[in-house]
Amino acid sequence: MHETSIAEMLCDIALEEAKKYSISRVSSLTVQIGEMAAVVPEALKFAFSIISQGTPLEGAQLNIEIVPIVAWCSQCNEPFEVENFSFKCPGCGMVSDRYLSGQELLLVSIEGKKEGN
Ligand SMILES: [Zn+2]
């Protein structure tokens, strides 16, 4: 299940951020994940709740925003949104291999209590 490895990456990033801002207990975090990763949000939340056990992330609310895939057609010089994983440009039919978005794994925000509070 690849949600597990994504959840692991996510925990690594979030723990690093929490450390940077001296957050001892994370209450919620928001992530943007490209549609390309094809994650099932519920599966990712489940994997996250397991992996975060025993860390400052335990019990944190995970908000997931899926970023649509946008590709670039070099023939039309225009971006187009990829639907149903069809990478053909709707304008000219050329298959694009340049993506402007859809591959991200971004931690957008993290909230929690600072150490000592
Ligand atoms: Zn095109």
- Give distance in angstroms: CA of 67 to centre of ligand 1: 22
Other Cβ atoms less than 10 A from the Cβ of 96: the count is: 19
- Give distance in angstroms: CA of 81 to centre of ligand 1: 12
Return the pLDDT at 11.
Answer: 96
User: How open is the CA angle 82-14-32, to the nearest 5 degrees?
Assistant: 15
Are the beta carbons of 79 and 71 closer than 8 angstroms? yes
Return the pLDDT at 85.
Answer: 87
| pTM for this predicted structure | 0.84
- Give distance in angstroms: CA of 95 to centre of ligand 1: 8
Return the pLDDT at 69.
Answer: 95
Return the pLDDT at 22.
Answer: 93
- Give distance in angstroms: CA of 112 to centre of ligand 1: 46
- Give distance in angstroms: CA of 85 to centre of ligand 1: 16
The DSSP letter of residue 37 is: G
Return the pLDDT at 1.
Answer: 57
Return the pLDDT at 117.
Answer: 56
Instruction: Encode the chain (117 residues) as per-residue pLDDT tens digits.
Output: 589 999 999 999 999 999 999 999 999 999 999 999 989 999 999 999 999 999 999 999 999 999 999 999 999 999 999 988 899 999 999 999 899 999 899 999 999 998 775
Q: At what angle do helices 41-51 and 2-20 cross, to 10 degrees?
A: 60
- Give distance in angstroms: CA of 102 to centre of ligand 1: 19
- Give distance in angstroms: CA of 65 to centre of ligand 1: 28
Helix extents (H) in the chain: 2-20, 41-51
- Residues around ion ligand 1, judged by CB within 5 A, are 73, 75-76, 89, 91-92
